[in-house]
């Protein structure tokens, strides 16, 4: 018994438990935000590297294409009929072809006699690049390389061409200033844009995590309240059982018939605890989603009739008259659960109707909905209580004794699992009305 008292003792640290939940949820929120920011950063890094590499490759190909186009132009100029050949008039003859900085490239022609013709406004004194000229002339193959000229990076295409006077070498230079400026601007955009995107993703992750954790916070709160309420509900029957056992211990030699109502009290409380544990188990399994419904075609009127047949003796004992008005109404669902739903509503009406009174059950189809109504002629439901009648362990202050506060919560779950809804209201003529609306079968 001492173990039971310890097990079902009221939780002394609700506040600290709530604070623990807050710390837990805060930690989960920060982890979600961190993961959101890290994943976004990883994606942006991959995309940024891909964009930067693709842009750099495209700019490089564009520069190489410009070098090749200028080289072909110079080649065509040198190959024209009437080309004057090496001499002082060569530059004036092909000056437009070899271009200059304004054209985006600088062309250099090296004659077979190693005389170089460089545009007069070339921004560097390092042209031509002698080793590239020597290698191209010796191998007869074009070469492309990157070099530093006057402290700036440049791409140089060196290409040999054979004419009647010998092997000329064409060397075309394109500085990478514009290319590097474009890549630098792109890098800044990717850097600051990525940081902004990570910040926005983190902020969005914080908001999303806050909203996503609301059901978890509510679940933790309900779980804590559920445990506290269960402890409270179980404490009363356990106290009665303990008292009855103590009474039996005080009279160990007395016959059973002389120990008063101890055995009856124990039996009643065991039934009470069994119902309570069954309800708790059903709701716990329902919360975890492991309760499966045996779905089939069910006549809602048959389920209501079965419930009335089960509760008729109780209603007769309490002086309550049961009335049924039902039409065959087909729904898709679990017959046992729908009968349980009807039993809960009718039993609740019998308990609250008092006697003499009447409980009316009505089943009909309204459009695409199957409707089950249970009405009583009792005191009705106070306006402040209507919003709480389907909460677990909630009981009105003037509720009759014997209830567990779980029946209507179970009824609400059954209706929702069948794709329907349940509502409570006062009858215009007095009493309460509970209405269940389920999707009707075709």
- Quick one: which of 405, 411, 413, 357 has its CA closest to 380? 357
**C-alpha–C-alpha distance, residues 71 and 258, integer Å:** 123
What CATH number does the domain located at 296-439 have?
3.30.565.10
Residue 363: per-residue pLDDT: 93
Give the chain's mean pLDDT: 77
Domain edges within the chain? 2-46+183-288, 73-179, 296-439
Instruction: Could you please state the CATH topology (level 3) that the domain comprising 73-179 is classified under.
Output: Beta-Lactamase (3.30.450)
Biggest distance spanned by C-alpha atoms of the chain: 142
Model confidence over 67-93: pLDDT tens digits? 888 888 878 777 777 665 555 555 555
d(CA 430, CA 357) in angstroms, rounded, equals 11
Question: Residues of the chain with pLDDT > 70: what percent?
Answer: 72
Residue 437: which of 424, 414, 420 has the closest Cα?
420
| pLDDT under 70: residue ranges of the chain | 1-21, 82-103, 119-125, 213, 218-237, 240, 251, 254-265, 268-269, 272, 275-276, 280, 283-291, 393-405
Query: In this structure, are residues 365 and 326 in contact, taking their beta carbons and an 8 Å threshold?
Result: no
Q: Tell me the per-residue pLDDT of 46-65, one tens digit each, with 9 for 90 and over.
A: 988 999 899 888 888 888 88
8 A C-beta contact, residue 431 and residue 373: no
CB atoms within 10 A of CB 215: 9
Q: What is the pLDDT of residue 2?
A: 40
């Amino acid at each position: 018994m001492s173990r039971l008292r310890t097990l079902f003792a009221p939780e002394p640290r609700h506040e600290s438990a709530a604070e623990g939940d807050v710390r837990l949820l805060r930690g989960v929120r920060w982890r979600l935000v961190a993961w959101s920011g890290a994943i976004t950063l990883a994606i942006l890094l991959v995309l940024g590297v891909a964009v930067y590499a693709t842009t750099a490759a495209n700019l490089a190909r564009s520069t190489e294409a410009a070098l090749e186009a200028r080289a072909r132009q110079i080649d065509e100029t040198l190959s024209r009929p009437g080309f004057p050949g090496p001499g002082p008039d060569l530059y004036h003859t092909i000056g437009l072809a070899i271009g200059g900085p304004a054209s985006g490239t600088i062309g250099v022609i090296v004659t077979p006699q190693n005389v170089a013709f460089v545009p007069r406004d070339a921004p560097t004194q390092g042209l031509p690049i002698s080793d590239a000229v020597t290698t191209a002339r010796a191998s007869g193959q074009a070469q492309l390389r990157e070099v530093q000229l006057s402290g700036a990076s440049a791409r140089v295409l060196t290409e040999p061409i054979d004419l009647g006077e010998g092997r000329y070498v064409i060397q075309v230079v394109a500085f990478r200033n514009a290319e590097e400026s474009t890549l630098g601007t792109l890098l800044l955009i990717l850097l600051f844009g990525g940081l902004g995107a990570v910040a926005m993703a983190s902020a969005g992750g914080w908001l999303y995590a806050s909203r996503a954790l609301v059901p978890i916070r509510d679940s933790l709160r309900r779980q804590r309240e559920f445990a506290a309420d269960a402890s409270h509900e179980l404490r009363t029957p356990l106290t009665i059982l303990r008292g009855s056992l103590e009474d039996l211990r005080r009279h160990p030699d007395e016959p059973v018939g002389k120990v008063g109502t101890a055995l009856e009290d124990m039996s009643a409380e065991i039934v009470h605890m069994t119902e309570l544990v069954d309800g708790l188990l059903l709701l716990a399994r329902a919360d975890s989603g492991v309760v499966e419904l045996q779905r089939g075609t069910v006549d809602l009127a048959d389920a209501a009739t079965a419930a009335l047949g089960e509760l008729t003796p109780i209603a007769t004992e309490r002086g309550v008259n049961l009335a049924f008005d039902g039409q065959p109404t087909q729904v898709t669902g679990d017959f046992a659960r729908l009968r349980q739903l009807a039993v809960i509503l009718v039993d609740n009406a019998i308990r609250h109707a008092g006697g003499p009174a009447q409980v009316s059950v009505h089943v009909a189809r309204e459009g695409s909905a199957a409707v089950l109504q249970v009405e009583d002629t009792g005191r009705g439901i106070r306006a402040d209580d209507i919003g709480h009648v389907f909460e677990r362990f909630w009981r009105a202050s003037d509720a009759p004794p014997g209830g567990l506060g779980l029946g209507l919560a179970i009824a609400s779950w059954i209706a929702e699992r069948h794709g329907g809804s349940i509502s409570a209201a006062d009858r215009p003529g007095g009493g309460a009305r509970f209405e269940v609306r389920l999707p009707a079968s075709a």
